[in-house]
Amino acid sequence: MPPRLLLFLLPRGSLLPPLRRPSPALSPLIRRIPSNKPPGYFFLSPVRAFSGYSGMAAAGSPEQQPRSVVVKETVELTEKEEQIFRRLLDVVRHFGLGTQLRVAGGWVRDKLLGKDSADIDVALDNMTGQNFCEKVNEYLELIGEEQKGIGVIQCNPDQSKHLETARMLILDIWIDFVNLRSETYAENSRIPTMEVGTAKADAYRRDLTINSLFFNINNNSVEDLTGRGIEDLKKGLIVTPLPAKATFLDDPLRVLRAIRFAARFNFTLAEDLKEAASDERVKSELGSKISRERIGHEIDLMMSDKHPVKAMYDIRDLGLFYVVFSFPENSNPPVFDKCDWQCVSHIEAAWNLAYSIGSSVFNSGSDPKLQDEQRRLYLYSALFVPLRNMFYLDRRSKRVPVSSYIIKHSLKLKGSDAETVVNIHAASEKFAELVHLLESSFDVRTFKEKLEDEYLEIPTDSVKRVCAGLILREIKDFWRLALLVSILSNPEAENAAGILNKQDELHWRKEKYIRVERAITDLDLDGVWKLKPVLDGKSIMGVMQVKSGGPLIGKWQQRALKWQLAHPNGTMDECIEWMKQSQSKRQKVESST
């Protein structure tokens, strides 16, 4: 059976996802670690990292000194990695290929930092990735194993993909294969001239020294061919192998990658790198030559990682905020002075507040993916709080929030992300009034009058529950996020409380959140959006003895919902009886007048 070749043509902005799976044991060839850890032992979800990061309070400090980082002297292989590498070497030896196999980049860096990684990229010195994958399939056929499909990711300079990459499953793990290369850039072009290169040339063309390390599979050794990759890793420094400005002009996306890795590992950007990143020409090239999808992808990775506040500080301090988060023309009101500072200040406050409360803020049951998603949307919502009252007119003269434009057009993220952020902003303003209602014992008649009409009367002791229930049914699972954002964006209340410093401010916000959340849960409203209406439209039509729906039925559905919130233990028969009585009373009033 001939080897199969599957060609995956990827749409702009998409990536083939690597298969990530923790391995329980480490290599007997190099060093073995006990394998009695539970599955996932090496993986911490962003939420857990979020709630356990003690350095968050200092996230906005303007200067960060280089620090000492513990770096392992050897790469510790898992049993699975040993098996994969042994299989690859068997292919090389069987066919006499003479190929040097090197694992490149992030996998080596993470292994030296003691982190697990399943992102294995193998660099080949004498053949293309596709050709090597075909040899692997030939070998599989010889030993009687099933051949695997080969995915070929075409080179795409617009996506920072400058050379064809082949991908296939080796022992159930996705492995990428690419040949070593050197590259030169023509003036005014991000498209490099690619040539087969040496390992040293390949190392120097990498974005950062900490990503330029190789692990040579043939001799089980780490290769630091720039001469400073391990040193920079130990110092916690983000440095480019070649001069930073030239590196960034060759590929401006590397500016954001540098910021992302600095934030991920809490490393320090080198001074010459910061100077190059702040260069006006580099900023111009980043805004004009890099697709918005790629910029958005980098920002989304930052927001989903361990230290998003540090990343936003670097973006702001390097003068990149308005390049990354481009605003629409003619926003109303116009972009105000220090808008970037306000936005970063809000995301820092949001991070500190959520960290002080704990991961229960992102309450999506036991599903860590939903928790991570809530965390990500919360941070975007907080970042754009200062913009929540800014709008622009689109091509159809429709009034659109500026935050929606940035998410959908500047970052090219999902439309649902923009919709959720806008909804959280809207709900946070409603929460400001609700918070006041839930925390006070003042006369609720104003709220009561808003809820009632000639057919519906709300018991005074149920007003708070009905008001809160209606708002929570709009925002649903994101109500805690809206509450947090509401607390962050209410400085008048903080001023009234006489807060003098940031620590008092954080404590005040935390206590306020806890009190309001407790009030909502005490009212048994967490999950109220899942409440099935006691009467549906068809039942209401039957009570009213009409054959078709319309605005009148819609109004009665809303009244029935308020009645249900005010009478949580009420039955369908009781609701029908209330409807009949309220209609009868209304008819008597109308006949008497």
pLDDT tens by residue, 43-78: 222 333 333 333 343 444 444 555 688 999 899 999
Dist CA 50 CA 520 (whole Å): 25
What is the arithmetic mean of pLDDT over 505-511? 91
Dist CA 555 CA 560 (whole Å): 9
pLDDT, tens digit, for every residue of 162-179?
568 999 999 999 999 999
What is the arithmetic mean of pLDDT over 178-191? 64
- Helix then strand count (H, E) for the chain reads 25, 14
Dist CA 203 CA 241 (whole Å): 8
Q: Is 192 helix (H, G, I), strand (E, B) or coil?
A: strand
Residue 274 has pLDDT above 60, yes or no: yes
Q: Which single residue is written with the structure tokens 């860096």?
A: 109
pLDDT at 148: 93
Dist CA 50 CA 44 (whole Å): 10
Q: What is the DSSP letter of 326?
A: P
**Looking at the whole model, is its pTM more than 0.85?**
no
Largest CA distance in the chain: 104
Q: What percent of the chain has pLDDT over 70?
A: 81
Give the phi and the psi of residue 302 in degrees, each rounded to 5. -65, -45
pLDDT at 485: 94
Q: Quick one: pLDDT band at residue 184, thresholds 50, 70, 90?
A: low
Q: Quick one: pLDDT band at residue 477, thresholds 50, 70, 90?
A: confident
Residue 593 has pLDDT above 90, yes or no: no
pLDDT at 160: 47
Q: Quick one: pLDDT band at residue 500, thresholds 50, 70, 90?
A: low
Lowest mean pLDDT among 46-55, 106-115, 117-126: 46-55
Q: Which single residue is written with the structure tokens 């001469």?
A: 227
Q: What is the C-alpha R_g of the chain?
A: 29
What is the arithmetic mean of pLDDT over 247-259? 96
pLDDT, tens digit, for every residue of 317-369?
999 999 999 999 989 999 999 999 999 999 999 999 999 998 778 865 667 88
Q: Quick one: pLDDT band at residue 590, thresholds 50, 70, 90?
A: low
The bridge status of strand 151-153 relative to strand 6-7 is: parallel
Cross-strand partners of 170: 173
pLDDT at 367: 78
Q: Quick one: pLDDT band at residue 498, thresholds 50, 70, 90?
A: low
Name the helix (H) or strand (E) containing 221: strand 221-223
**582, 458 Cβ separation under 8 angstroms:** no
What is the arithmetic mean of pLDDT over 458-465? 91
Amino acid at 272: D
Give the count of alpha carbons within 13 A of 169, CB side only.
13
Q: What share of the chain is helix, strand, coil (3-state, %, to 5)?
A: 55, 10, 35
pLDDT at 10: 36
pLDDT at 164: 80
pLDDT, greater one: 202 or 163: 202
CA 230 to chain centre: 29
What is the arithmetic mean of pLDDT over 495-522? 84
Nearest alpha-carbon partner for 354 in 65, 77, 53? 53
Per-residue H/E/C for 283-295: HHHHHHHCCHHHH
**How many other CB atoms sit within 10 Å of the CB of residue 324?**
26
Residue 550 has pLDDT above 90, yes or no: no
What is the arithmetic mean of pLDDT over 82-91? 97
CA 190 to chain centre: 27
| Residue 78 CB contacts under 8 Å (≥ 6 apart), including other chains | 23, 24, 25, 26, 27, 116
Nearest alpha-carbon partner for 268 in 49, 61, 104? 61
**382, 424 Cβ separation under 8 angstroms:** no
Dist CA 92 CA 101 (whole Å): 9
pLDDT, greater one: 78 or 188: 78
Per-residue H/E/C for 377-399: HHHHHHHCHHHCCCEEECCCCCE
pLDDT, tens digit, for every residue of 224-249?
999 999 999 999 999 999 999 999 99
Q: What is the mean pLDDT of the chain?
A: 84
Q: Is 145 helix (H, G, I), strand (E, B) or coil?
A: coil
**290, 275 Cβ separation under 8 angstroms:** no
**444, 463 Cβ separation under 8 angstroms:** yes
Dist CA 558 CA 562 (whole Å): 6
Per mean pLDDT, which of 25-29, 177-181, 433-437, 556-560 is the most reliable?
556-560
Alpha helices in 384-462 (DSSP H): 402-405, 415-439, 445-451
**383, 312 Cβ separation under 8 angstroms:** yes
Give the count of alpha carbons within 13 A of 25, CB side only.
11
Residue 399 has pLDDT above 90, yes or no: yes
Residue 139 has pLDDT above 80, yes or no: yes
**How many other CB atoms sit within 10 Å of the CB of residue 73?**
7
Q: Which single residue is written with the structure tokens 């923009």?
A: 418
Residue 5 has pLDDT above 50, yes or no: no
| Residue 96 CB contacts under 8 Å (≥ 6 apart), including other chains | none
pLDDT at 27: 32
Q: Quick one: pLDDT band at residue 549, thresholds 50, 70, 90?
A: confident
Q: Quick one: pLDDT band at residue 592, thresholds 50, 70, 90?
A: low
Q: What percent of the chain has pLDDT over 90?
A: 62
Q: Where are the beta strands (DSSP E) in 38-170?
A: 101-104, 120-124, 151-153, 165-170
Residue 220 has pLDDT above 70, yes or no: yes
pLDDT at 544: 87
What is the arithmetic mean of pLDDT over 449-462? 89
Name the helix (H) or strand (E) containing 196: strand 192-196
Dist CA 512 CA 577 (whole Å): 40
pLDDT, tens digit, for every residue of 383-392?
999 999 999 9
